[in-house]
């Protein structure tokens, strides 16, 4: 056993640092996203199909999906979500560490505190979004598609009438309809939202970890608590921008006479005027239920994987 452990450690010592951080982040993101996938599906439907799902509430929406689409209905779009989140989370966590090191090297006198985490987190969030956005668009479009009771045949089976039949089909049709711009529809509010959200998430997480007593710093419960609060606070400040993004992403699928959503702030004002300001917070309660375990699991798995992969602590690096 000792020989095997030494062999593993020797192998890991030859793996580049950025690759370890990329792997740890990707696994953390994929695991966390799959755990909360059912809540994510319901949240997207609340954000984009307000009249159909708000009248039934959370329990009614869950019941409707279960009845018309079955258990797998809660995971509609999750394939695209996981395909996106693994590279997204990997890039997000890895580039956060890289940006953090770069800032410290370029500006050696910078204060090693919350401001550093805020800057590195914001930059890493923007980087990850730009590289993986088409898959986020695909996930939303697939999750938006629902099966109504009228589309069930006499045997209770679903008649397959969806616009998109999978990740590749969705990407292909979206590209044919709008080219590269079509694949990046809604990216502006995403970037406006991710810069403060990602920055605040890392800021709150690292700041809270600094106040954890030394004896509890490696505790799973401490990491879960810090991650939960960090995700909760970060999401609250930026949620309206997420609603704008979702509505822009599915706009081509909606038969509506309302003005086309163009521009982040203009779209936000238009949604508030036409649908009511409460629409900007549609699904927020579901998001609170989702973001707490998601952020908690993500940060915890990331820190645990870093330890297992023998990623040196920041104190050791410095």
**pLDDT value of residue 124:** 93
The predicted model gives 166-182 an average pLDDT of 90
Distances (CA, A) of 28 to 10, 77, 87, 304: 24, 19, 11, 9
**pLDDT value of residue 175:** 93
**pLDDT value of residue 253:** 66
Q: Which domain holds residue 124?
A: 17-311
The tens digit of pLDDT for each residue in 263-317 reads: 778 888 888 888 888 888 877 877 787 877 887 888 888 888 888 888 876 655 5
For residues 104 and 112, is the Cβ–Cβ distance under 8 A? Answer: yes
In terms of Cβ atoms closer than 10 Å to its own Cβ (0-12, 13-18, 19+), residue 232 is middle
Whole-angstrom distance, CA of residue 70 vs CA of residue 91: 34
In a domain, 316, yes or no: no
**pLDDT value of residue 149:** 47
| Cβ atoms within 10 Å of 207's Cβ, excluding its own | 15
In a domain, 8, yes or no: no
The predicted model gives 19-36 an average pLDDT of 88
The CATH code of the domain that includes 170 is: 1.50.40.10
In a domain, 7, yes or no: no
CA dihedral 138, 234, 290, 218 (to 10 degrees): 120
The tens digit of pLDDT for each residue in 44-69 reads: 777 676 566 666 677 777 888 888 88
In a domain, 74, yes or no: yes
Please state which of the ranges 165-179, 217-231, 243-257 shows the lowest mean pLDDT.
243-257
Backbone angles phi, psi at 293, to 5 degrees: -65, -35
Distances (CA, A) of 55 to 51, 58, 64, 95, 240: 7, 9, 12, 42, 21
pTM of the model: 0.69
Closest CA to 88 of 136, 38, 16, 144: 136
Domain count, the chain: 1
The tens digit of pLDDT for each residue in 81-110 reads: 788 888 988 999 899 989 999 988 888 777
In a domain, 317, yes or no: no
Sign of CA dihedral 277, 283, 285, 290: negative
Q: Which helix (H) or strand (E) holds 48?
A: helix 37-48
In a domain, 41, yes or no: yes
| Cβ atoms within 10 Å of 184's Cβ, excluding its own | 18
Higher pLDDT, 160 or 134: 134
The predicted model gives 227-244 an average pLDDT of 82
Alpha helices in 76-166 (DSSP H): 78-106, 114-144
- Residue 158 pLDDT grade (very low, low, confident, very high; cuts 50, 70, 90): very low
pLDDT at residue 154 above 50? no
């Amino acid at each position: 056993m000792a020989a095997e452990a030494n062999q593993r450690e020797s192998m890991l010592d030859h793996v580049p640092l950025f690759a370890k951080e990329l792997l740890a982040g990707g696994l953390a993101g994929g695991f966390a996203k799959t755990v909360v996938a059912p809540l994510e599906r319901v949240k997207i439907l609340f954000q984009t199909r307000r009249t159909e799902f708000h009248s039934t509430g959370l329990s009614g929406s869950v019941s409707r999906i279960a009845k018309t689409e079955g258990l797998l209905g809660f995971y509609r779009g999750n394939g695209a979500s996981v395909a996106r989140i693994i590279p997204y989370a990997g890039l997000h966590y890895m580039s956060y560490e890289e940006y953090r090191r770069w800032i410290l090297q370029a500006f050696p006198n910078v204060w090693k505190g919350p401001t550093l985490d805020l800057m590195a987190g914001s930059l890493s969030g923007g980087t990850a979004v730009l590289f993986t956005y088409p898959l986020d668009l695909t996930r939303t479009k697939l999750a938006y598609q629902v099966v109504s009771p009228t589309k069930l045949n006499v045997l209770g089976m679903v008649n397959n009438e969806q616009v998109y039949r999978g990740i590749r089909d969705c990407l292909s049709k979206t590209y044919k309809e709008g080219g590269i711009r079509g694949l990046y529809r809604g990216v502006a509010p995403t970037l406006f939202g991710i810069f403060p959200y990602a920055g605040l998430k890392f800021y709150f997480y690292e700041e809270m970890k600094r106040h954890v007593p030394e004896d509890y710093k490696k505790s799973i419960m401490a990491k879960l608590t810090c991650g939960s609060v960090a995700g909760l606070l970060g999401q609250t400040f930026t949620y309206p921008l997420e609603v704008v993004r979702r509505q822009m992403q599915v706009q081509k699928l909606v038969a509506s006479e309302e003005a086309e959503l163009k521009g982040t702030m203009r779209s936000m004002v238009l949604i508030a005027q036409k649908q009511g300001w409460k629409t900007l917070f549609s699904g927020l309660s579901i998001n609170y239920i989702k973001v707490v375990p998601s952020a908690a699991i993500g940060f915890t798995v990331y820190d645990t994987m870093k330890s297992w992969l023998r990623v040196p602590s920041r104190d050791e690096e410095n």
